[in-house]
Amino acid sequence: MARKLITLEERQWLAKNAVKMMGKAVQYPVLDIDKAVERINEQRKSQSMSPWIEIQPISEDMHKAPNRVATFQKDPITGVYYGIVLDQDEFGNLRWQKLQLHDNISLNMDRREDAKIWAVLRFHPDIQGSPWEVQNPYYKIFDPIDEARSEGKEIEYMKKAFDRVDILLDNPKNMVFFARYLGEELVENSNFELVRGALLRYAKKEPFEFNKKWENRLRSFGEHFESARALGIITNDADRGFMFRNIGLGINPDEAIKMMSQDSNIMTAINNELAEKDQVILHIKQELEREAETEKKNPKVKEMKKEKVAAGDSDNDFE
């Protein structure tokens, strides 16, 4: 989901600090464009954002040229009218400037007229992120610096996730438990490379979620819950919720994990059953022990494995 171009808190600030009353018989609270522009530019400079805003089609319609005109939007919560007022007629009716929307609009926020247009267009329902965004908006906003910053953060999260995968690989139980905690389904004969590949793929595709789950303070209990559920040690009863043996843990996963974190006897019992029944962990342990024994007898095997990884073997290719 796209981030909001303007929050409710900001709209409430505008209603208190950037509104002027216009009209004759009826007074309308209209956005004070000059104050709004000043506010926008202050915020963008404080966040080191570029002066450029590009409004682009999400998916270009090749069969017809878009014909969208923006005038004003009324805020259903604050009652403020967002638009550029040209003048008012003799009866006090407001005349609004028409803003033509077309593909690939570039606005320079250093130019006051462009900044005024943006102060209004960000409320248009056809633009992704508008407070009143329609179900299938036509336009999206592209900010070069903001985009670069987002990509940089994603790369940082990805590097951190890959480092954490390396930590997990030292312990079969940890790697299997965390893979299940991420939602990965592991069949009984899963080997080291299959679990490693699943972790790497998740770290690449969902680095933020990977790190968020890693840092969750209830992670250990969540890992045990997901593994116990995968092995049928914890079941989900339609009427009673999640059950361990005949003990109710909670209606939903969060309640069950909280219950496990508060009852050491339940946690110990679940852990003991997992140690007996988790064939994936046993299988990987045996696999690694065999490899270690082979490497001990023939040191060249270890060197060949290193060369295989360094050369970018297909086992490492998780595109």
Q: Where are the chain's structural domains?
A: 8-142, 148-316
> So what's the pLDDT on residue 74?
93
Tell me the angle at which helices 279-297 and 192-205 cross, rounded to the nearest 10 degrees.
110
Q: Which parts of the chain sit beneath pLDDT 70?
A: 1-2, 60-67, 144-148, 299-319
Per-residue pLDDT at 66: 58
pLDDT for position 318: 34
Q: What is the pLDDT of residue 225?
A: 95
One-letter-per-residue 3-state SS of 167-233: HHCCCHHHHHHHHHHCCCCCCCCCCHHHHHHHHHHHHHHCHHHHHHHHCCCCHHHHHHHHHHHHCCC
pLDDT in tens, 253-278: 999 999 999 999 999 999 999 999 99
What digits encode the pLDDT tens for the residues 28-46?
Answer: 999 999 999 999 999 888 8
Specify the pLDDT at position 309.
Answer: 45
pTM: 0.54
